[in-house]
Amino acid sequence: MVNFAIVGCGHIAKKHAEAIQKANGADLLAVCDTDPSKMREFIDLYNIEGYVNLEDLLKNNEVDVVNICTPSGFHASIAVSVAEAKKHIVVEKPIAMTLEDTDLMIDACRKNNVKLSVVHPNRFRPVMIKLKETMDKQELGKLSHANATVRWNRNQEYYDQAGWRGTKEYDGGVLMNQAIHNLDLILWLMGDVEEVYSMEATRLRNIESEDVSTGVIRFKNGALGVIEAATTIYPNNLEETISVFGETGSVKIGGKTASLVEHWNVENMNDEETIDIIETVKADPIGKPGHECIIEDMVEAVTEDREPIVTGLDGRKALELVLAFYESAKTNRPIKIN
């Protein structure tokens, strides 16, 4: 068994705890939070230890992996301490709030020979796996462009749950918090980015960061991309879509959580193959929950001594894209990404 501990006992920690309990080869040993009351539910439910001090948790030699579920602005300092204690890391998205902090995390993990995985679970959705396989075989031909749309609702009550929500230092806006998953998917599917241009606004929510953002991308392969993200949609989540268009294929993945095939037309796939993809996805659109996949992947990465599927570098690329959008919106000019 690979033993896990969770730092930060807020809402997302519940998903991590459930995933660890269900994942093959994983066991939850402990939680840590500066507020003892937030740990109580976890301690009672799972019969595990609770720590109010990170240093004390890291002295527990039975803990192999630490899952960081704190507000994003605290990820880097915690991760460096965890890496120096020779424990592997699963960190919630975004990996950090700045590239400087991200590089500190990656360097600390490299120096201490520990694994670093970033929670971008949408890669594990059945339809995304199939789309990635199709694109890796170059069955869409020369790529024209791609589109990522997040039209969701996060009302003021959501942001008022905690003082850090919607702040630039600890949370970020719709790009950093919600759409970063979609940016990770776009990078995973389309490759590295050369240049971006973006506009953003804070229209309806009383927060420091943006609640609506639009932007365009030029990928290094010459294809273009369009990003639209908002938490201002009335009254509930409307849609999350990923579309990719190429010389010999067009695919649109949609629904409220980008998990269903809305369009799939690939030149070298016959009708039977296409229908099979659509019906297979429809029968089980979510598959194994993404957090559970992330945990099982970390277990295998530790036991097989390999890199996790979603690495620290992957997390850095997604963050770099968000920050480039922010810089473009602030300066009203295109931003090159090296």
**pLDDT tens for residues 95-104?**
999 999 999 9
Q: With cut-offs at 50, 70 and 90, classify the pLDDT of residue 336.
A: very high
Arithmetic mean of pLDDT over the chain: 98
Query: Looking at residues 109-118, what average pLDDT do you find?
Result: 98
- Residue 85's contacts (CB-CB under 8 Å, 6 or more residues apart) are 58, 59
> What are residue 32's DSSP bridge partners?
7, 51
Q: Two tokens at 225?
A: 């991309």
Q: How far is CA 90 from CA 85, 234, 318, in A?
A: 14, 34, 16
Q: With cut-offs at 50, 70 and 90, classify the pLDDT of residue 57.
A: very high
Query: Beta strands 212-219 and 224-230: pairing type?
Result: antiparallel
| Spatial separation of the C-alpha atoms in residues 55 and 85, rounded to whole Å | 9
What's the pTM?
0.96
pLDDT on residue 196: 98
- For residue 28, pLDDT over 90 is answered with yes
Q: Which residue reads 């609702």 in tokens?
A: 153
Question: Domains in the chain, ordered, with CATH?
Answer: 2-121+291-308 (3.40.50.720), 122-287+319-336 (3.30.360.10)
Is 42 strand, coil or helix? helix
pLDDT on residue 338: 83
Nearest in space to 304 (alpha carbons), one of 53, 158, 7, 88? 88
| Cβ-contact 213, 182 below 8 angstroms | no
| Cβ-contact 307, 115 below 8 angstroms | yes
| Spatial separation of the C-alpha atoms in residues 145 and 142, rounded to whole Å | 10
- For residue 7, pLDDT over 90 is answered with yes
| Spatial separation of the C-alpha atoms in residues 118 and 142, rounded to whole Å | 30
> What are residue 241's DSSP bridge partners?
149
| Spatial separation of the C-alpha atoms in residues 253 and 146, rounded to whole Å | 11
- For residue 265, pLDDT over 90 is answered with yes
List, edge to edge, every strand of the sheet that includes 224-230: 260-266, 249-254, 239-246, 143-151, 224-230, 212-219, 193-201, 335-336
